[in-house]
């Protein structure tokens, strides 16, 4: 019987003929050669499948899954079902990785007997050809390059920062034993947002090394730019909540932190929408967070003052004081940037005064 590979690399593909070769070349030429390359073609209508088959003919490490278009979540789950490696990694088909990416991750995983290893990435702007650093994941310096349990020592990293699930190496056994899957929601939007906290909550031994291993390509077709996916971010959080309830009910004390993350992601989603979709999302946004207030599931400890003020304006959008304050902010912001340096301090002071005088039933204000 053949031995299982050290790493199974999942490569979800959908109409990426423009970038796919650069991605696959970076995987084929990894210094860690004992790998399995699982390409999942999600019903592409361009030459994506032909490109994959061409690589598979030359390299026996390739596994090709060709399926009808069903969305990112179902594609990734098909890949997980097929993976035979000791560990599982992910590379998006429009990105590329450093030559020693998986050797670095695998060595760290084996040396530290880790369930989950995470590294860093850089954003690559496809138009300007410039790279910028990734967002901080928020891991305390004293925990970098060390093994620790995320839920016990640094729980906020379960939800903060960019999901960046493709800078990680996951124990295949952990994924199987903990029933970790992707949400099978339509299209390709925010499924990574739900996958990350599941894996961080499941990992007993987590290891983070601050090294760039991947180049994340930003271009017009990135899935998070699709304004039609109004409630995808809600689905991602709902899926995570259900998994935590089914598998880690002992982490219920972290729910208020999770709700702060949900709020931040909802604000981000609201900003990217416009027109009727924005109105529809705002309505759901308001309804959900009113419910959290009434249930006492929010804690100001996890919000800065500006975010808390924004939260109040979402919960009570028709209170006349909030539109006035928001209008004041919209006037002050450009002035602050161009002429009056103390503009933000003035708006901050107003917000602080308002916060001190605002008390809502069922909400922690300390």
Model confidence pLDDT, tens digit, residues 142-167: 889 999 999 999 888 887 778 899 99
Rounded to two decimals, the pTM is 0.83
The set of long-range contacts for 305-313, using a CB threshold of 8 Å and a minimum separation of 24, is: 305/348, 305/351, 305/352, 305/355, 306/348, 306/351, 307/260, 307/263, 307/264, 307/267, 308/355, 309/351, 309/354, 309/355, 310/267, 311/263, 312/354, 312/355, 312/358, 312/360
At residue 326 the predicted structure's pLDDT band, cuts being 50, 70 and 90, is: low
- SS (HEC) of 63-104: EEEEECCCCHHHHHHHHHHHCCCCEEEECCCCCEECCCHHHH
36 touches 85 (CB < 8 A): yes
Say how many C-beta atoms besides its own lie within 10 A of residue 170's C-beta.
29
| Residue among 9, 73, 62, 14 nearest 41 (CA) | 14
At residue 226 the predicted structure's pLDDT band, cuts being 50, 70 and 90, is: low
Structural domains in the chain plus CATH codes: 7-233 (3.90.550.10), 299-366 (no CATH)
Strand partners, 62: 37
Q: What would the pLDDT profile of 40-74 be if each residue is shown by its tens digit?
A: 999 999 999 999 999 999 999 999 999 999 999 99
Q: What would the pLDDT profile of 166-214 be if each residue is shown by its tens digit?
A: 999 999 999 999 999 998 877 666 788 889 999 999 999 999 999 999 9
**% the chain with pLDDT above 70:** 83
- pLDDT of 262 > 80? The answer is yes
Higher-confidence residue of 213 and 358: namely 213
Lowest mean pLDDT among 52-66, 253-267, 311-325: 311-325
């Amino acid at each position: 019987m053949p031995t299982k590979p050290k790493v199974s690399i999942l490569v979800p593909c959908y109409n990426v003929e423009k970038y796919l070769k650069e991605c696959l070349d970076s995987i084929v030429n990894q210094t860690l050669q004992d790998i399995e390359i699982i390409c999942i073609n999600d019903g592409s209508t361009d030459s994506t499948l032909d490109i994959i088959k061409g690589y598979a003919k030359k390299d026996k490490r390739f596994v090709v899954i060709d399926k009808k278009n069903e969305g990112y979540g179902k594609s990734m789950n098909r890949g997980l079902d097929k993976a035979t490696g000791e560990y599982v990694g992910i590379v998006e088909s429009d990105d590329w990785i450093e030559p020693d990416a998986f050797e670095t991750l695998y060595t760290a995983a084996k040396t530290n007997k880790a369930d989950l290893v995470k590294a860093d990435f850089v954003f690559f702007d496809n138009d300007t050809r410039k790279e910028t650093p990734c967002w901080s994941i928020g891991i305390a310096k004293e925990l970098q390059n060390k093994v620790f349990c995320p839920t016990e020592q640094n729980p906020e990293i379960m939800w903060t920062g960019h999901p960046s699930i493709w800078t990680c190496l996951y124990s295949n056994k952990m994924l199987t034993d903990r029933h970790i899957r992707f949400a099978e929601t339509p299209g390709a939007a925010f499924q990574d947002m739900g996958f990350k906290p599941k894996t961080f909550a499941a990992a007993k031994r987590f290891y983070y090394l601050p090294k760039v291993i991947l180049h994340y390509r930003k271009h017009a077709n990135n899935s998070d730019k699709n304004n039609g996916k109004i409630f995808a971010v809600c689905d991602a959080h709902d899926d995570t909540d259900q998994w935590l309830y089914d598998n880690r009910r002992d982490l219920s004390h972290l729910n208020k932190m999770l709700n702060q993350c949900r709020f931040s992601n909802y604000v981000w989603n609201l900003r990217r929408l416009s027109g009727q979709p924005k109105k529809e999302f705002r309505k759901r946004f308001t309804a959900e967070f009113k419910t959290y207030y009434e249930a006492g599931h929010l804690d100001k400890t996890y919000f800065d003052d500006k975010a808390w003020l924004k939260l109040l304006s979402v919960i009570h959008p028709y209170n006349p004081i909030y539109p006035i304050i928001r209008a004041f902010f919209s006037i002050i912001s450009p002035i602050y940037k161009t002429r009056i340096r103390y503009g933000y301090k003035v708006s901050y002071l107003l917000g602080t005064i308002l916060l001190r005088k605002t008390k809502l039933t069922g909400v922690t204000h300390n």
